[in-house]
């Protein structure tokens, strides 16, 4: 693979996707510590939000240590060069949250929908574009449909005003060829001034390989997370990805050595759940299940005396989508009943 001379914008997820393994309990001070260090390492874009996006504070997903607004007001003013992004999932967050984020100085809004449901994002993408934000459409669980179908959805988002569309491998299910086909098709068919991005999960240990495939197929933005701190087995570990890119002659503008130090000295030590490929996160990738279900399934398994991998496989069989965390306890109760009946 020859990527020499390509340029990639890296986007750190540790303070948003990383909220999942931390059960949304990162403090504003921890966020400031990580974000200022990433800024000093020249990471250009850093996401700061509840794991499930603006307005995610809930029984269903978990109540965070601080509100989205408190996190954003803490972090944004501390940035020298880096820009801050926020995630918004319509159905959970609303345009009111978007206005708040904009008021806090958020630069990039990423509006996320299940990959077949882009039309619920019209209001939010439209408003982001109108407020002249860097407005991104984020197609989640993109492994579930084919490149042609993804393109239709991407075109809707493009039509609403998104200037960048992401292929999001929320389940960490994709293999490199899956990424190549999807990113490549979007790159070929979307307007030339609309960027394509890729967001990976490391559940099958494909984060790096998939992100490279995405760059080769024309993606300009790649998500990763310092120390891989993200849902499931985490996101593409950013310091590793940078090292690989630099070896391949790809420009990132990021200071690899500083990034390694942040992973080692700041992020690993603060992890309350050690993010890694274990049997549960591997099951997510194998069965195509939304990565943030991981800890919820572990908790339900413990509470009801079940095997968490069984719960996850059942959630995959049911074709659950992102946000359906409420199904986890429901499925566990069903399995417990079925077990008692045997």
Partner 1 sequence: MTTKVKAAIIGSGNIGTDLLYKALRSEIIEPVWMVGIDPESEGLKRAKELGLKTTADGVKGMEPHIADDKVQIAWDATSAYVHESNNELVKKYGVKMVDLTPAAIGPFCVPPVNLEEMVGRNEQNVNMVTCGGQATIPMVAAVSRVQPVEYGEIIATVSSRSAGPGTRKNIDEFTRTTAKGVEVVGGADRGKAIIIINPAEPPLMMRDTIHCLTKDAPKEKEIIESAQQMIAEVQKYVPGYTLKNGPVFDGNRVSFFMVVEGLGDFLPKYAGNLDIMTAAGLRTAELIAEEIQRAEAA
Residues engaged in binding partner 1 (CB under 8 A): 58-60, 90-92, 94-96, 114, 116-117, 119-120, 122-123, 318-321, 323-324, 326-327, 329-330, 333-334
CA distance 112 to 115: 9
27: Cβ contacts below 8 Å, ≥ 6 apart:
65, 66
In the complex, the smallest distance separating the C-beta of residue 21 from partner 1, rounded to whole angstroms, is 22
Tokens found for residue 216 = 């080769």
Shortest approach of partner 1 to residue 53 CB, angstroms? 11
Q: Which alpha helices (H) appear in the chain, and where do they start and end?
A: 28-40, 68-75, 95-103, 122-130, 147-160, 176-189, 207-216, 238-247, 256-261, 268-270, 279-287, 293-304, 308-317, 326-341
Q: For partner 1, give the closer residue by CB, 212 or 328.
A: 328
Nearer to partner 1, 102 or 258 (CB): 102
Rank residues 170 and 210 by Cβ distance to partner 1 and give the closer one: 170
The first and second tokens of residue 38, run together, are 């990433």
CB of residue 230 to partner 1, shortest distance in Å? 21
Give catalytic status of residue 97 as yes or no: no
CA gap 92, 61 in Å, rounded? 10
φ, ψ for residue 314, nearest 5 deg: -65, -40
Count the residues in the chain: 342
Q: Of 17 and 325, which has the nearer Cβ to partner 1? A: 325
Least CB distance to partner 1 at residue 191 (A): 23
How far, in whole angstroms, is CA 284 from its chain's centroid? 15
E strand spans, the chain: 9-12, 45-47, 83-88, 108-114, 134-140, 164-168, 195-199, 221-224
Nearest residue (CB) to partner 1, 41 versus 112: 112
Closest approach, Cβ 179 to partner 1, in A, equals 21
Minimum CB distance to partner 1, residue 113 (Å): 8
Smallest distance from the beta carbon of 342 to partner 1, in angstroms?
Answer: 18
Q: Which residue has the tokens 């630099």?
A: 246
Q: Please state at what angle helix 28-40 crosses helix 68-75, rounded to 10 degrees.
A: 40
The nearer residue to partner 1, 65 or 333, going by C-beta atoms, is 333
In the complex with partner 1, the residue whose CB is nearer, 213 or 327, is 327
Backbone torsions φ then ψ of 311, nearest 5 degrees: -60, -45
User: What tokens does 184 get?
Assistant: 């490549």
Contact 236, 23 (CB under 8 A): no
CA distance 293 to 61: 9
Catalytic hit among 20, 50, 143, 202: 20
Q: Is there a contact between 28 and 8 (Cβ–Cβ < 8 Å)? A: no
Which SS3 state, helix, strand or coil, does residue 232 take? coil
Active site (catalytic) residues: 20
């Amino acid at each position: 693979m020859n990527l020499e001379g390509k340029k990639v914008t890296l986007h750190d997820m540790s303070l948003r996707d990383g909220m999942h393994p931390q059960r949304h309990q990162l403090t504003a001070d921890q966020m400031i510590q990580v974000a200022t260090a990433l800024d000093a390492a020249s990471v250009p874009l850093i996401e700061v939000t509840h794991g499930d996006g603006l307005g995610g504070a809930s029984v269903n997903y978990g109540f965070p240590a601080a509100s989205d607004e408190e996190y954003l007001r803490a972090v944004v003013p501390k940035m020298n060069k880096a820009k801050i992004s926020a995630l918004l999932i319509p159905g959970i967050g609303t345009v009111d949250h978007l206005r708040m984020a904009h008021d806090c100085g958020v630069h990039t809004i990423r509006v996320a929908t299940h990959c077949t449901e882009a039309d619920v994002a019209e209001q939010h993408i439209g408003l982001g574009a109108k407020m002249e934000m860097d407005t991104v459409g984020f197609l989640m669980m993109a492994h579930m449909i084919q490149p042609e179908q993804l393109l239709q959805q991407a075109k809707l988002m493009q039509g609403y005003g998104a200037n960048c569309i992401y292929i999001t491998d929320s389940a960490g299910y994709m293999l490199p060829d899956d990424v190549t086909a999807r990113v490549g098709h979007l790159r070929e068919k979307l307007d030339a001034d609309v960027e394509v991005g890729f967001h990976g999960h490391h559940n099958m240990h494909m984060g790096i390989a998939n992100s490279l495939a995405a760059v080769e197929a024309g993606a300009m933005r790649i998500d990763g997370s310092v120390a891989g701190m993200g849902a499931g087995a985490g996101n593409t570990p950013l310091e590793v990805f940078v090292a690989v890119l630099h070896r391949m002659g790809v420009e990132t503008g990021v200071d690899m050595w500083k990034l390694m130090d942040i992973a080692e000295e700041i992020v690993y030590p603060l992890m309350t759940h050690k993010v890694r490929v274990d049997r549960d996160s591997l099951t997510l990738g194998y069965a195509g299940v939304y990565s943030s279900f991981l800890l919820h399934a572990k908790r339900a398994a413990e509470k009801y005396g079940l095997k968490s991998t069984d719960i996850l496989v059942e959630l995959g069989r049911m074709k659950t989508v992102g946000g359906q965390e409420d199904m986890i306890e429901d499925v566990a109760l069903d399995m417990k009943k079925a077990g008692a009946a045997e």
